[in-house]
Structure 1
Amino acid sequence: MEHTPLIVVGAGQAGLATAHEAARRGVRPLVLEAADDAGGSWPHHYDSLTLFSPARFSGLPGRPMPGDGDRYPRRDEVVSYLRAYARDLDADTRYGQRVTGVGRSGGHLTVTTATGARFRTPALVAATGEFSRPHRPALPGLDEFSGTVLHSSEYRSPESFAGRRVVVVGGGNSAVQIAAELAATARVTLASRAPIAWMGQRLLGRDLHWWFVRSGLDTAPIRRYWERGPVLVRDDGRYRAAFDSGDPDRREMFTNLTEHGVEWADGTKEDVDALVLATGFRPALGYLDGTGALDGDGRPLQSRGVSASVPGLGFVGLEFQRSFSSATLRGVGRDARHVLRRIL
């Protein structure tokens, strides 16, 4: 069994930021990544995905996002950036090593991968985030629906939906982006439990993220307040204009799925070809089962990223882990520094 001072699980934005911060502390981490390259969930997002934050507010520690700082990078730019970042890290990064189990032994943590490799460490950071475990809600009638059903994580581009009737479920940024894109080739409805709550992308000539950073909101522990309000959709005006035109349209969430479509809240039934579930994600931490690190729903028992039940265990990349920006490119480095100070 190989011994190492720190293991980081995942080579997405959270894992790479953690590895960078560990190296700054004089610790060369072992990074275990299931895929054959760095980038985490980014290579698997839909083709047209564009960041909601400008490049100047979208970099990991020690390496600004290249190019015009006011532009909004596309998915492939982010993937290229993360892979370049990984290549320059002072870390032992091993790809094709999916962590399948973590145990506790003699004050240390033991890690096993799908290839049979085993490691022993006093400190481990789970940096697999919340974007590799799609949440599929138990919608009434879903088992009976005979049309296409896919999660937003499986959606790539609108071409295969041309001429079809599509319902997108969700009320957040991804749901709105996907619905608007699909509307160019298909008849699309966004079904959500509440009306879309729009938030302008710019205020007084500045991007919203500039105001977040300058005001201190970016690092504020505001989860309880944020979750009480509606999901805010950031927009430069294009998406709101599309919905105001009725193409796509937005309707109250359907009450039931039928074999061939949906039943709307007013009792009308309509045939639907495809359902896209933009319904978010849950923490991908199944490899920690049996350690006592998770609650009954598979969520980590933690405080500000430090495990409340397993010594030496930390988390980076969880939404609202410490602040508004915790699960973002610009926020994971701050959280990684905090966690490493407490577990190393």
Structure 2
Amino acid sequence: MDKRTFTKIAGALGLAAALALAPALALAADPIKLRVSSAAADTDWLSGGLRVFKEQLEKLAPGKFAVEVYTGSSLFRQGTEVPALQRGNLEMSTMTTFEVEQQIPEFSVFSSGYLFRDYAHARKVFDSDIGKAYFAEVARKMELQIIEPMYLGTRQVNLRDGRAVKTPADLSGIKLRVPGGPGWVALGKGLGVTPTPMAVSEVYLALKTGAIDGQENPLPITKANNFQEVTKTIVLTSHLVQPVFLTMAKKKWDQIDAAGQQAVRQAARLAADYNDQGRIKEEAEIVDFFKSKGLTIQTPDLAAFRASVDKEYAQAGIAAKWPKGLKEKIEAVR
């Protein structure tokens, strides 16, 4: 074989080898980028769960994904993540039921106060056919893929002053920070307050300056944001057992192969376990922490609060939008 022929063959073989290696090289060079945006404080269990998601997904599918976690509204402001997902400007976020109801009004039932009895009840609902139908409708109407429900906590009222609170009437005139949206406003009015929508990143200063009179959040989130430094009272209204959803833009989800989707779901389940169990444990212990910081803990008349919230949903026309019998089906889950 002459030198010229050898060179041609070698060149051809080299090109073929390069073409064969190209997909692997492309995979190694271009992992699927997933940015996760959340308003959760960096010290909150949810943020820790998102870091577990990153760690586990990159371990389960080496080289396939590059996950970036942004907490404390450091990438997108609270309330802007869902539109960013839908525009293709963001890959993942921690979406709430309230954000879903803004685009699917009949699903406001899932955001209603005193709906879920506790964490176990909420988990069973979203693991049931009710949850599957909810996720499917969100994917169809919003182009968002819910990957995994996570527990945000049971929300309680937290006030700057030391007033005694037994019924919603005792909260009359209180400017209480709530997240934005009509569902939150209705829930706030049901609690007896003047609901004041505000991003969570603005709450500490607003409490300190008196721009608002209080806020409501799960107690671990209250602690993670140091709101105990600028408040005096916690009222255990337990008005909302709240889920949050680790969610991906559906267009991005559909670009991931079956093995990759399975890895994402597995990592999300591990993240949820970390968040849920950590938060449940902290909720069981945290009242003593607030007492040690000088806050007064009160247990009000929950029946009065529940009745007031139900009345507000009826008067605001929100309950009329709920699919017939769905609330009863949710409440019947055991």
The structure where strand makes up a greater share of residues is 1
The structure where helix makes up a greater share of residues is 2
TM-score, length basis structure 1: 0.31
Max radius of gyration: which structure? 2
TM-score, length basis structure 2: 0.31
